[in-house]
Amino acid sequence: MSEPQSISTGIAARYATALFELAKDDKGLDALEADTDGLGAALSDSEDLSAFISSPVYSREEQENAIAAVAEAMKLGPMVVNTLRLMAQKRRLFVLPALVAELRGLIAAEKGEVTADVASATALTDAQKDKLAETLKASIGKDVKLNLAVDESLIGGLVVKVGSQMIDTSIRSKLAALQNTMKEVG
């Protein structure tokens, strides 16, 4: 891991731990989980927000006012809003994606869950999501929360990552393996 990456992860871990402990003491883990999921979706859906949090062009005050407005428009809880404002004041908004990942991990560990990152060529139906979660639960022995993404370059199939394990059943990887086999033969 590169040094700047590990510094960002360390900063995010400290903010996430503090926010998690406050929410746990206040019996607000469900609200924190909803806020975390909303914030994660906003970061992945909005290129403008992602660019904004990492831009050095804006002053601390501009970042604080903007992130507070975004958080209030998303109806995030007061603890999350205050944390985001503090992060803006300290010029730490660039660690938001890592903060979301850390919070998801802490919440999942508290609930006895593991998170599986699933990439599919098309959006999964509810029945497919349920079946995948059941299959993974039977394999792992813990409840599984799916973090879904669509990657059309897969052509078909799934890529599932749970912890350090990865299962790649995509057509793209099968075609690549076939291409390598053909190169070896010819």
Q: Consecutive 10-residue runs of the chain (186 residues): their mean pLDDT? A: 71 95 94 95 91 92 94 95 96 95 91 90 94 93 89 92 90 91 84
Q: Which of 174, 165, 157, 101 is nearest to 136 (CA)?
A: 165
- How far apart CA 68 and CA 74 sit, in angstroms, is 10
Per-residue pLDDT, 112: 87
Q: In this predicted structure, what is the pLDDT of residue 186?
A: 64
Q: How far apart are CA 162 and CA 98, in angstroms?
A: 17
Work out the end-to-end distance of the chain between its first and last CA atoms, rounded to an integer number of angstroms. Answer: 39
pLDDT of residue 164: 85
What 8-state DSSP symbol labels residue 123? Answer: P
The confidence score (pLDDT) of residue 4 equals 65
Q: Which residue in the block uniquely carries the two structure tokens 């912890």? A: 163
Residue 123's CB: how many other CB atoms inside 10 A? 10
In the chain the domains, ranked by start, together with CATH numbers, are: 3-108 (1.10.520.20), 113-185 (no CATH)
101 vs 175: CA distance, rounded Å: 32
Residue 108 tokens, joined? 């999942």
| Block residue for tokens 């599986």 | 116
Helices (H), the chain: 3-25, 29-45, 47-54, 60-73, 78-89, 96-111, 126-140, 171-185
Report pLDDT for 171: 92
Q: Report which of 72, 96, 94, 73 is spatially closest to residue 82, judged by C-alpha positions.
A: 72
Rounded to whole angstroms, the Cα distance separating 156 from 136 reads 19
